[in-house]
Chain A
Amino acid sequence: MSARQDRRDKFASRAVQIGFIVGLLTFWYLGTAYWGISPLLLPNPVKVWHELKDVLGSGEYLPDLQITLTELAVAFSISCTSGVTLGYLISRSQYLIKVFEPLLAGVYSVPIILFLPLYVLFFGLGPGSKIAIGTTISFFPIVLNTIAGFGYVDKIFITAARSMGASDVQMFRYVLLPAALPVILTGLRIGFTVALLSILGSETIASLAGLGHKIVHLAEAMETARMFAYIAFAVVIAAFLNTVVSSLERKARRR
């Protein structure tokens, strides 16, 4: 395809994308304003926008956001430290890897959200159960990636360092860690994303506070417009956090 054709194609596809989104918004507006869709099901986009401005301006979102972010921070720090530590310890021996990696991968393949009711029974409806489920679910990609990172370092690097007289500490610091880092960071990114999703999910299902709960609360109160505003808000926050974490991962992987 020639360069000119390519540019025309790029322009055309952009046009289709924009057209698609504009079309969607238009149908949304028309549907609620003129075609009689119940505002309880689909609120007017203009009203949603006003509600959003109100929520942001009044700072009403703050307590829920704070709870969600705190739960996320605590859950992620726990799963991070335990996952990396355990992953490193397992990676020290090929035998341990062969024993534990399939077990961990197997447990991860079950939808762990099933254990949420158990955690609620244990910790109640408060932040404890959210942190617990967030930690549990995000633990697995972190530990599995750490095992993969440390356990599959190209043998030639270890041999070369050994031949040059590297001590165990030097081996870890100058060879194992930098070699494993890209894979581990990917695991951390996935763990973060998954922690956020499971915390929002558990707030939706069984909670007294937090962003997920707020959305449910508004749904039950039939305040659909405000609920849409909060959904948009939550999506933006999630997107922002994920972008930050992704770019951190990419920066650290640049080598």
Chain B
Amino acid sequence: MSGLLAVKKVLLRRPALARILVLVAFFLFWEISARWWIDPMFMSPPSRVLASLSSVFETRGVPAALRITFWELTVAFAISVVIGLAIGLAVGLSRFSNRSFMPIILLLYGTPQITILPLFILYFGIGPASKIAFGVSHGIFPIIVTIVAGVQNIKPILMTSARSMGANRWQIFRWVIFPHMIPSFFAGMRLGMTGVLLGVLLAELYVSTAGIGYFTTLFTQNFDPTKLLGLISILAAMAIILNELVRRAEVHFARWRTD
């Protein structure tokens, strides 16, 4: 049994390898149980899902819906960043604004926005506008909160040093506050992207007459788990890619931060 022992030793040194094995085991379990144990009306094995991915794309309207969703995500994210940055700076830079408006912002951040989703559809219609709006309303809050924290958390000693060297208000902002705030900004963007994903996808799933929501409803009602899982996987992949992009940006730009 020395072969087994050797395998065990290799695995112990490389948790990454073990992780891959766990994933493989999971997919194998899914494959086997979906093929032989579960009714094909309810579940589909990964092999079939993969094989029929092309048919998902060939379903009329799906590629368009996916493209629109992706567009909604990027637009919502861009708007969230711009608005979030503006409000964040406005609130964070002045102690008075901070004290006045932060409690209101935190209150709004804490409310379950899902309850007003029907209102968003009512106001903005069933098209991309409502999805973008709902995405923005989820995305701006983490950005605002992290920017305010980033601005407020500057060690006073840094401000004192700058002032002692004769910097005026604009210079202090440009050379002390702004660079200091960048890591928080990127962390906020990462959370903001999570929020935007949630908001846009929730809105999309809710509207069952158009867009992604139409197809998820269609595949569900037709008991077509293959196409449904295919669609979900594509959306999940989209989410992972977008998240990863923002995360990489954060790692790249926040290198000087030690915390």
Contacts and interface: CB of A to CB of B under 8 A. Distances in A.
Q: Do chains A and B touch in the complex (CB under 8 A)?
A: yes
A134 B117 CA distance: 19
Contacts of A206: 205, 217
A234 B236 contact: no
Given A17-B101, A242-B110, 20 more contacts: A13-B96, A20-B100, A20-B104, A21-B104, A41-B123, A95-B12, A95-B18, A111-B236, A114-B201, A117-B217, A117-B219, A117-B220, A118-B228, A121-B42, A200-B112, A200-B115, A201-B114, A204-B202, A219-B118, A238-B111
A17 B101 CA distance: 7
Nearest to B231: A117
A234 B99 CA distance: 28
A219 B206 CA distance: 13
Given A99-B19, A110-B239, A111-B197, A117 B116 contact: no
B100 A204 contact: no
Interface in A194-218: 196-197, 200-201, 204-206, 211-212, 215-216
A195 to B, nearest CB: 12
Contact of A99 (B22, B217, B239): B22
A10 interface: yes
A9 B96 contact: yes
A116 B228 CA distance: 11
Contacts of A120: 220
Interface string A80-101: 0000000000000001001110
Contact of B202 (A113, A121, A219, A239): A113
Interface string B39-52: 00011000000000
A117 B228 contact: yes
A64 to B, nearest CB: 13
Contacts of B96: 9, 12-13
Contacts of B205: 113-114, 116-117, 205-206
Interface in B113-137: 114-119, 121-123
Interface residues of A, number: 48
Contacts of A109: 194, 240, 243
Contacts of B156: none
Contacts of A3: none
A113 B202 CA distance: 8
Which has the most chain A C-beta neighbours within 10 Å: B112, B117, B123, B216? Answer: B112
A9 B201 contact: no
A162 B18 CA distance: 31
A56 interface: no
Contacts of A235: 111-112, 115
A17 to B, nearest CB: 6
15 contacts: A16-B101, A17-B101, A41-B122, A95-B12, A99-B19, A109-B194, A110-B239, A117-B217, A117-B228, A121-B228, A204-B118, A205-B202, A219-B121, A219-B122, A220-B118
Nearest to B219: A117
Q: What class of interface size applies to chain B in its complex with A?
A: 35 or more
Contacts of B243: 109
Contacts of B12: 95
Tell me whether chain B's interface is mostly helix, strand or loop, or mixed. helix
Given A12-B96, A13-B99, A109-B240, A215 B111 contact: no
B15 A95 contact: yes
Interface of A: 9-10, 12-13, 16-17, 20-21, 41, 95, 98-100, 102-103, 109-111, 113-118, 120-122, 196-197, 200-201, 204-206, 211-212, 215-216, 219-220, 224, 227, 231, 234-235, 238-239, 242
B150 interface: no
A118 B225 contact: yes
A12 B111 CA distance: 25
Given A12-B96, A118-B232, A200 B19 contact: no
Nearest to B213: A205
Contacts of B223: 121
Interface string B209-250: 000000011011001010011001001100110010000000
Nearest to B217: A117
Contacts of B66: none
B3 interface: no
B114 A227 contact: no
What are the 7 A-B residue pairs with the smallest beta carbon separation, nearest first? A219-B118, A98-B15, A13-B99, A13-B100, A16-B100, A117-B216, A201-B114
Contact of A17 (B100, B121, B198): B100
B103 interface: yes
